[in-house]
Amino acid sequence: MDRYEELRETVERAADDDAVEADDVVSALEVLREVREELADWEPRLIAAARRLGVSWAELAPALGVASRQAAERRYLRLHKPEHKPEHEAESTADERVQAERDRRAGQRAVRAWAQDNSEVVRKLAALVGSLDDVGDEARVHVDVVSRTLGDDDPVLLISPMVSAAAHLRDSHPDLAAQVDGVNSEVEQARRDAVDRRVGR
């Protein structure tokens, strides 16, 4: 607060043409930059905290000075910078981050819809993978994950464990691994199609 008050005092003196030194103005600009950077970091953290506490995007919109829940979410996505980003995303712009996040969500929705529509196929294949006994130690870990996941109501949760298991089954159970690869190819195609439709490609 002391820093803020000193900054405001310098601004008011400069605006009123009161006696102010050039060094004071330059120093105030440096402080302003630091404050701006801090505020830019604080806002997405506060928004994330509000969301964790159950505040809706519609409730956040007025506090953020925007007109809709979509605008509130977009503002958060523009400000939010993941702590661990792939190197190729290090220089991405705010708009690119928004685009990437929306593409990711569109892809997730498409995969979930595909898994629901093909639930029987996914579950039968997962049951075959999860029931394997004659596998090595490396494959066993992944096969057991598939077996445990079979009890879940959401078929989309079976896909990733199956793909991981298939990577260790190509020598011992090539036909089964090929079936998993086929399912994964359809899943990835559904994901790509959803993203393409979203951006109009």
What contacts 144, CB < 8 A, 6 or more positions away? 130
Q: CB of 197 within 8 A of CB of 162?
A: no
What contacts 177, CB < 8 A, 6 or more positions away? 166, 167, 169, 170
Does the pLDDT of residue 16 top 50, yes or no? yes
Question: How would residue 123 be classed by pLDDT, with cut points 50, 70 and 90?
Answer: very high
Q: What is the mean pLDDT of the chain?
A: 84
13-30: average pLDDT: 77
Question: How would residue 198 be classed by pLDDT, with cut points 50, 70 and 90?
Answer: confident
The tens digit of pLDDT for each residue in 59-102 reads 998 898 888 888 888 888 878 765 545 544 444 566 677 777 78
Locate the domains of the chain by residue range.
2-83, 109-199
Does the pLDDT of residue 152 top 70, yes or no? yes
What's the CA gap between 125 and 178, in Å, rounded?
A: 11
The tens digit of pLDDT for each residue in 156-192 reads 999 999 999 999 999 999 999 999 999 999 999 998 8
Does the pLDDT of residue 119 top 90, yes or no? yes
Task: Give 90's Cβ-side CA count (13 Å radius).
Answer: 3
Residues in the chain: 201
Cα dist from 199 to 52, 89, 93, 193, whole Å: 30, 19, 17, 10
- SS3 for 94-153 is HHHHHHHHHHHHHHHHHHHHHHHHCHHHHHHHHHHHHCCCCCCHHHHHHHHHHHHHCCCC
The pLDDT, as a whole number, for residue 107 is 87
